Amino acid sequence: MASDKKEAAVKRAARKRSVAKERVKAKAYAKADAKRDEKKKVYKKKLSANAAIREQYEADTQSSYSGGKSSGEVEKAYKLVAAQEGISNGQAKSMIDRGLVYVGNKKVMIARGELSVKTEFKVQRIEKIRPIFENDDLIVVDKPAFLNSDEIERQFKGARLLHRLDRETSGVLILVKNEEFRLKAIQAFSQDEVYKEYVAWVEGVFIDEVMIDKPIVTEKRHNKAYSKVSQQGKPARSEVYPLEVSGKKSKVKIIIHEGRTHQIRTHLRSINFPIVGDELYGGHRAQRVMLHAKKVTLLGKTFEAPEPKVFRHFSE
């Protein structure tokens, strides 16, 4: 009898343990189900948001890039540009990468982006290189925007760049023909004996002249040069003078010393007057970076490049 009671007690204890385990499992399953349900809700929200983004993008693309026309057919931007302009795909891609292709007032940013086949493009042409001066020692040209300095050097065999201008910066660019003159010119640059005057349109109302004396350090970001003000940088000075105010933009004259990479762009941003079109340093989007190397005086000779027509836009 006693043994039967003991056996029954053991069985009851086993059942309790089993029930307890089942309850633990049930709770774990319920918790896991709740997590899955929550993940599903988040996932559905993301899908919904992405769908809304896609719908808006498609609507923007059709209205901005296709003049309101709708079409189910799409193609890569560079292929459409190539077909419209009668050029190679490579040439079309290069034009987009340079920032020369627009749809309406919007710059086409991604060459491989897909657009409606009905898209009509506006292509900005690169102006011709205009010679300013030439003798046995040097060649001076008015560099157009959207050309790299190296590309210009390749067009003048036997001449070497004495200095550089950024791709979207236009103006006076000097190439030298012989080593003797190059060494003299480099010494003049290093001793701050070269007068370098630029003009720029900047964001904001600029009314007081200022000397910006802030060291600059340059680093690589995504394989491109990027400069910033830093006490660990090299000395750099820029004199900035107001010339004109038009709405919320101002035209300024800049005289630079030292000539660090992106010196003007970095200095103007540091005083909250970024250059129009200079998105890398805080400026609003425009046809180009509105910076022009207007005048250079080197070893007794002065070279000047007239301001591009686009610079008159903000004055009118």
Active site residues: 166
In sequence order, what are the beta bridge partners of 213?
Answer: 237
Please give the structure tokens belonging to residue 252. 């300024």
Please give the structure tokens belonging to residue 84. 């419209």
Nearest Cα residue to 103 out of 90, 116, 87: 116
Count CA within 13 A, CB hemisphere, residue 68.
0
* Pairing status of strand 130-134 against strand 106-107: unpaired
Distance CA 58, CA 303 (A): 50
